[in-house]
Chains A and B, each alone.
Chain A
Amino acid sequence: MSNPGTELPVGGERLDAVYDSALESVDAAEEAVMAIAGRAGFDEDSMHRIGIALREAMVNAVVHGNKYNAHKKVRLSAGMEDTSLKIVISDEGGGFEMTKVPDPLAKENLLKESGRGILLMQAFVDDFQVRRLSPNGTEVTMVKHLSP
Chain B
Amino acid sequence: MSLKLSTRQVGDITVIDAAGRVTLGEGTSALRDSIRETVNAGHKKVLLNLGEVNYIDSSGIGELVSAFTTVTNQGGQLKLLSLNKRIQDLLQITKLYTVFECHDDEAAAIRSFT
Contact = CB atoms under 8 A, between A and B. Distances in A.
A111 B62 CA distance: 8
Given A56-B57, A111-B69, A26 B24 contact: yes
A26 B55 CA distance: 14
Contact of A55 (B57, B94, B96, B98): B57
Interface string B50-70: 000001011101110110110
Interface residues of B, number: 22
A52 interface: yes
B66 A59 contact: no
Give the interface SS of chain B, mostly helix, strand, loop or mixed. Answer: helix
Given A113-B63, A114-B62, A116-B58, A59 B24 contact: yes
A59 B99 contact: no
A117 interface: yes
Given A104-B94, A105-B94, A113-B66, A120 B58 contact: yes
A48 interface: yes
A110 B57 contact: no
A120 B57 CA distance: 9
Contact of A110 (B55, B66, B90, B99): B99
A10 interface: no
Contacts of A26: 24
Contacts of A116: 58, 61-62, 94
Given A48-B86, A112-B65, A23 B94 contact: no
5 contacts: A45-B86, A110-B96, A114-B58, A116-B61, A117-B58
Interface of B: 23-25, 55, 57-59, 61-63, 65-66, 68-69, 86, 90, 93-96, 98-99
State the 9 A-B residue pairs at the shortest beta-carbon distance, nearest first: A113-B62, A116-B58, A117-B58, A123-B93, A113-B66, A23-B25, A105-B95, A114-B62, A55-B57
Given A110-B95, A113-B65, A120-B94, 7 more contacts: A59-B24, A110-B98, A111-B69, A116-B61, A120-B58, A120-B93, A123-B93
